């Protein structure tokens, strides 16, 4: 049963409860979305990594409201994927045929039609909502969605909440990604791991202020898929 009750407080939106896609299975990534005006300068963190190319394809795993569509060029193709059928409201509000939301269970095999491959594949606070035994399947889906030479960005949270099903240190996440893909690691950082990197400092300087309270629990991963 989907609890699609939404509460609003100072621009923040929360679904009341995460709902299992299956039991056991992934969780709907619909909790804690924020509105475009609260993105702050976060988009500046991503801009240096966005290639200047025509027909840029961006795919987001667990897109929630789809607010991250605002961080990418207006002429890009943006596809937001989420198991929650009520997600994607920011994408829908744009009424742009090149910006779409698709409800999909990432645990099950699927193929986009047309078969777009992402130049940039992103997931923000998504993988921690997945049961550990389901991670290999979903990471392989991610690999299939990413084009050769494409970039993968992920922010994973380790804070202990009931909706976070997999809480692992950064070293174990690195092992999982290495086992399931042949991606080249560009950067992995957190407050306690490789914190002197330019990537981490850029992340910290650009995140919205309300994220700082959880900064010690956040990890940033950037990979490139081999051509």
pLDDT of residue 127: 94
pLDDT of residue 117: 96
- Domain boundaries of the chain, sorted by first residue: 6-224
pLDDT at 13 over 70: no
What is this structure's pTM?
0.85
pLDDT of residue 151: 98
* Cα three-residue angle 162-167-172, rounded to 5 degrees: 170
pLDDT of residue 6: 29
Contact (Cβ atoms closer than 8 angstroms) between residue 22 and residue 78:
no
Q: What does residue 199 show for φ and ψ, rounded to 5 degrees?
A: -65, -45
Instruction: Encode pLDDT of 51-76 as tens digits.
Output: 999 999 999 999 888 889 999 999 99
Average pLDDT in the 190-207 region? Answer: 92
pLDDT of residue 35: 63
Average pLDDT in the 120-129 region? Answer: 93
Among 127, 156, 172, 137, smallest CA distance to 214 is for 156
pLDDT of residue 38: 67
In the DSSP assignment, the letter for residue 225 is -
Average pLDDT in the 159-183 region? Answer: 93
pLDDT of residue 37: 67
Average pLDDT in the 39-49 region? Answer: 88
pLDDT of residue 173: 97
pLDDT of residue 111: 82
pLDDT of residue 34: 56
Contact (Cβ atoms closer than 8 angstroms) between residue 75 and residue 50:
no
Encoded tokens for 198 = 């330019």
3-state secondary structure the chain: CCCCCEEEECCEEEECCCCECCCCCCECCCCCEECHHHCCCHHHHHHHHCCCCCCCEEEEECCCCCHHHHHCCCCCEEEEEECCCCCCHHHHHHCCCCEEEEECCCCCCCCCCCCCCEEEEEEECCHHHCCHHHHHHHHHHHHHHEEEEEEEEEEEECCCCCCCCCCCCHHHHHHHHHHHCCCEEEEEEECCECCCCHHHHHHHHHCCHHHHHHHHHEEEEEEECCC
Domain 6-224 is classified in which CATH homologous superfamily? Vaccinia Virus protein VP39 (3.40.50.150)
């Amino acid at each position: 049963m989907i609890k699609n009750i939404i509460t609003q407080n100072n621009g923040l939106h929360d679904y009341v409860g995460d709902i299992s896609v299956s039991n056991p299975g992934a969780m709907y990534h619909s909790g804690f979305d924020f509105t475009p005006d609260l993105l702050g300068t976060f988009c500046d963190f991503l801009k240096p990594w966005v290639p200047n190319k025509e027909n840029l394809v961006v795919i987001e795993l667990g897109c929630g409201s789809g607010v991250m569509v605002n961080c990418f060029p207006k002429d890009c193709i943006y596809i937001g994927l989420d198991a929650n059928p009520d997600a994607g409201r920011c994408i829908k509000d744009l009424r742009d045929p090149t910006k779409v939301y698709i409800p999909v269970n990432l645990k099950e095999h699927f193929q986009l039609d047309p078969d777009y491959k992402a130049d940039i594949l992103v997931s923000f606070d998504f993988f921690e909502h997945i049961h550990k035994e389901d991670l290999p399947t979903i990471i392989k889906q991610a690999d299939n969605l990413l084009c050769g030479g494409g970039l993968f960005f992920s922010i994973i949270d380790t804070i202990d909440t009931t909706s976070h099903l997999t809480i692992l240190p950064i070293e174990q996440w690195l092992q999982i990604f290495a086992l399931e893909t042949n991606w080249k690691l560009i950067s992995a950082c957190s407050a306690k791991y490789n914190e002197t990197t330019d990537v981490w400092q850029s992340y910290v300087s650009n995140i919205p202020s309300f994220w700082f309270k959880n900064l010690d629990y956040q990890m940033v991963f950037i990979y490139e898929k081999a051509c």
